[in-house]
Chains A and B, each alone.
Chain A
Amino acid sequence: MNAPTKAADTGGTLSGAKIIAAVKAAGVSHVLSVPDLHTAKGLLAPIAVDKELQLVRVCKEDETLGIAAGLLYGDKRSLILIQYTGFLYAINAIRGVACEQKLPIVMMIGLLGKEPGVAPKDSKRFGSRLIQPMLDTLGIDHHYIDLDEDVRLIEPAINKAHETSRPVAFVIGRRPV
């Protein structure tokens, strides 16, 4: 589990197009999402018009765990794209479906409001500090995606999740553009 500390904003960027390309390269066909202001423009908007990805818009985040589990029975890989508040809302479904059934559920969690260039553990935002420790507690592998150079982690991590049948999460540090 990687959680690099970045002491100050390097002024780097995070490309939504590169994230989408990495997700597609890992064989993801469906995206399940409740809109997150953090990723709404840079990720969800282009996904919504991407002909290679089927977007399922849901009403509450815990629905995505059931839908993702169901898709696996037809060998369909999905990405759950949610805000950290939705992750907190869906914790019981994540425990019961992703963790206890040992399923390759792939989550991308936006840290809305986290200060650019500040590591989540050093954020002034209580919610931003919570997510990585909670993923550790749940035993879910997670990767911090804050800059373009981090995007290389996505495809192998999704493939590993499916090879080992375990959930994985990507914590999105800065807003993708």
Chain B
Amino acid sequence: MTMMNRTKCLEILKRHIADEIVISSYSTASEWVEMSDRALNYYSHGAMGLGSSHGLGMALALPHKRVVVFDGDGSLLMNLGTLVTIAAAAPKNLVHLCFHNGTYEANGGHPLPKRDVDFCGMARSAGIKQVHLLDNMANFEQQIGGILKQEGPVFADIHVETGPITPRAYDDMYKPERRQKLREALKA
């Protein structure tokens, strides 16, 4: 697999994210909170794999808002049925991005049972119409803005290198005050 640098991908995403709700988890969340600490961020926790399910709930409840999920490959493997559930519910405002580095990075960097999983094939088989594979920076930079605006549900498999295995500031990310700020921002 060709690999991109996740930090660079997130920097590009930051340029395109405006008033969308962004749901992130674990390693990607750790980088995103450092890069773009905003009220409309939600840090999925409590049970690994449920980021896309949180996103589906928000997308159904808030059809006027775009919801973008930054999932991980290990997380998605723990909740593969979510692709079928999302395809069936078919929210037009949900974009599901999977950062695919082949490891359980947040759990010590051990490999997935199989690194080169075909998530795009799974998403298509589940019934998601808008499916993208992004495995080089030129394509990512060119396409991501359009992908974020596509009618959902949208899925993209983003091939990235494994990031640094460093301590994560989970306590700060998961503070109830952050979830309260999101609620207030959504009511504003």
A residues adjacent to B (C-beta < 8 A): 30, 54, 56-60, 62-76, 78, 92-93, 95-97, 100-102
Among listed B43-51, B101-109, B134-142, B159-167, interface-contacting one:
B43-51
How far does the alpha carbon of A95 sit from the alpha carbon of B82 in the complex, in Å? 20
B46 touches A67 (CB 8 A): no
Given contacts A66-B56, A70-B58, A70-B60, contact A93 B82 (CB under 8 A): no
B85 touches A92 (CB 8 A): no
Residues on the B chain within 8 Å of A56, using CB:
56, 60, 85, 89
Q: Contact partner of B57 among A59, A62, A73, CB < 8 A?
A: A73
16 sampled A-B residue pairs with Cβ under 8 A: A56-B85, A59-B81, A59-B82, A59-B85, A62-B47, A62-B49, A62-B53, A63-B85, A64-B53, A66-B57, A67-B85, A70-B53, A70-B58, A70-B60, A74-B58, A76-B57
B92 contacts partner chain A, Cβ-Cβ < 8 Å: no
What residue in chain B is nearest A32 (Cβ atoms)? B57
A69 touches B60 (CB 8 A): no
Nearest Cβ on chain B to A160's Cβ, whole angstroms: 20
Q: Contact partner of B85 among A58, A69, A93, CB < 8 A?
A: A58
Residues on the B chain within 8 Å of A93, using CB:
46-47, 50
Q: Contact partner of A65 among B50, B89, B183, CB < 8 A?
A: B50
Q: Contact partner of B56 among A60, A70, A92, A95, CB < 8 A?
A: A70
| B-side interface mostly | helix
Q: Contact partner of A71 among B44, B51, B52, B60, CB < 8 A?
A: B60
B46 touches A101 (CB 8 A): yes
A63 touches B79 (CB 8 A): yes
Q: Contact partner of B50 among A63, A78, A100, A102, CB < 8 A?
A: A63
Residues on the A chain within 8 Å of B49, using CB:
62
B residues adjacent to A (C-beta < 8 A): 21, 42, 44-47, 49-62, 79, 81-82, 84-85, 88-89, 176, 179, 182-183, 186
Q: Contact partner of B46 among A58, A71, A76, A96, CB < 8 A?
A: A96
A57 touches B47 (CB 8 A): no
How far does the alpha carbon of A69 sit from the alpha carbon of B57 in the complex, in Å? 7
Residues on the A chain within 8 Å of B57, using CB:
66-73, 76, 78
How far does the alpha carbon of A92 sit from the alpha carbon of B51 in the complex, in Å? 14
Nearest Cβ on chain B to A15's Cβ, whole angstroms: 29
B89 touches A97 (CB 8 A): no
Residues on the B chain within 8 Å of A72, using CB:
57, 61
Residues on the A chain within 8 Å of B42, using CB:
73
Nearest Cβ on chain A to B29's Cβ, whole angstroms: 15
Q: Determine which residue in B21, B57, B58 has the highest number of CB atoms from chain A within 10 A of its CB, and name it.
A: B57
B61 touches A71 (CB 8 A): yes
Given contacts A30-B60, A73-B186, contact A66 B53 (CB under 8 A): yes
B82 touches A75 (CB 8 A): no
Residues on the A chain within 8 Å of B56, using CB:
56, 66-67, 70
How far does the alpha carbon of A93 sit from the alpha carbon of B53 in the complex, in Å? 11
What residue in chain B is nearest A91 (Cβ atoms)? B47
What residue in chain B is nearest A64 (Cβ atoms)? B53
Nearest Cβ on chain B to A52's Cβ, whole angstroms: 15
Residues on the B chain within 8 Å of A75, using CB:
61
Ordered nearest first, which 4 A-B pairs have the shortest CB separation? A70-B57, A74-B61, A59-B81, A66-B53
